[in-house]
Structure 1
């Protein structure tokens, strides 16, 4: 039998490990709370894009200022999370990171009309890595869900653009989202959260198609305007 002193020593070590893990979790929660609040502020700022074309550029500039602050938070997360325990604590920042993937990709699309790459978003967040072997990294599923959220926001923007008299943006959005939809269809997604989120994309595509169809019926925009909306072949930023 194990002596009482030996048992106490073993469980003292267990308690120390639990306390150290709890300390890490508390640190992660505190950082995520601050970074998530920044994401909420950015989301609120971007509501202007549905009401004012002139407000888009200022919103993007303000968002980039807040991305820099979020970058500092992610750098802290990278420092506090043990390199081998990324997925042990991943749930703490999973949904927050998905939101940032959406917000950053929205910013880049509004600025340049192109798709933000996985590497670009990782760089904006200060993660600087996309491979699992590097420890703290930008998870691919988080990035893809962020893109699906982007499609939903662009579908909403397509409707509101027409409301404020912009008949060209829905065509640009339609072209971009259709290409994203085609890209997602190349992936062999299993029946999980990502698959369910992708299934909702068809409704966004349908909503945008209805907007474009209504514009075509009304003869808007003019043919020369549609020619001007042709996008470059390369849809990813570098």
Structure 2
């Protein structure tokens, strides 16, 4: 091999290693922030309803701090290389989506759209060739929210909040209806969607028990937005 050509190849490999390390550093920082967020959000399972607003308020600064990390990450990634590097931060972004969507539900009982979630995380549309919020990652985050809410439905009752399971049931069923309208080709996403049936069953059992014991009003309609395909 020509020595000059070999030097070029070595230089390109070195640059790739350097770039990977820079991306890894930012992803590690984002992971640290998402772990902090999830750690605080785990307290929802042992927090009385009257103290929930203060808990949610306490986690907002950490959620908003994702933007700075993501902005720095975008500056590192070369143009048109989103798909080359995205696997390095996919899990981190899905966790961030989960946190943002769960916080919105707990705050306002509404569902963040894909665009709204990207805005909260500070992911700008103009960055699409370097970093974006793929639909699959958004949907994976939503499924994790349902997993968490099925757990909350049980724990809310132990905290004496008998209306929470009913609110969760309305939200989750509406979300499931939206998912059912999607033509899911991804095998992993499809399997996770199918698992939602178990979460819904778990929530329905809690609602049935609460209703049977007349511990809360019968379920009614609510202003929860639908999920559109």
With the length of structure 1 as denominator, give the TM-score of the two structures: 0.89
* Aligned partner (choices 217, 223, 227) of residue 232 of structure 1: 223
1:64 CA drift (Å): 1.4
Q: 1:196 aligns with which of 178, 191, 194?
A: 191
Matches within 5 A, 1:3-22: 7-22=2-17
Output one character per residue of 1:55-89: Cα deviation in whole Å (capped at 9) or x when no partner. Answer: 32222222210022211000011111123111111
Listed as ranges, the matches of 1:1-238 within 5 Å are 7-52=2-47, 53-129=49-125, 132=128, 134-223=129-218, 226-227=219-220, 230-232=221-223, 234-235=225-226
Where does the alignment leave 5 or more consecutive residues of structure 1 unmatched?
A: none
Could you tell me how far apart the structure 2 residues matched to 1:235 and 1:188 are? 17
- Rg comparison, structure with higher value: 1
- RMSD between superposed Cα atoms in Å: 1.8
Q: CA–CA distance in 1 between the matches of 2:23 and 2:148?
A: 29
1:104 offset after TM fit, Å? Answer: 0.3
CA offsets 1:195-235 (integer angstroms, 9 cap, x no match): 12112111111100110111121123135xx45xx322645
TM-score with structure 2 length normalisation? Answer: 0.93
1:54 alignment partner, SS class = helix
Unaligned runs of 5+ in 2: none
Task: Report the secondary structure of 1:137's partner residue.
Answer: coil
C-alpha separation between the residues in 2 aligned to 1:19 and 1:55? 52
2: CA distance between counterparts of 1:123 and 1:233? 20
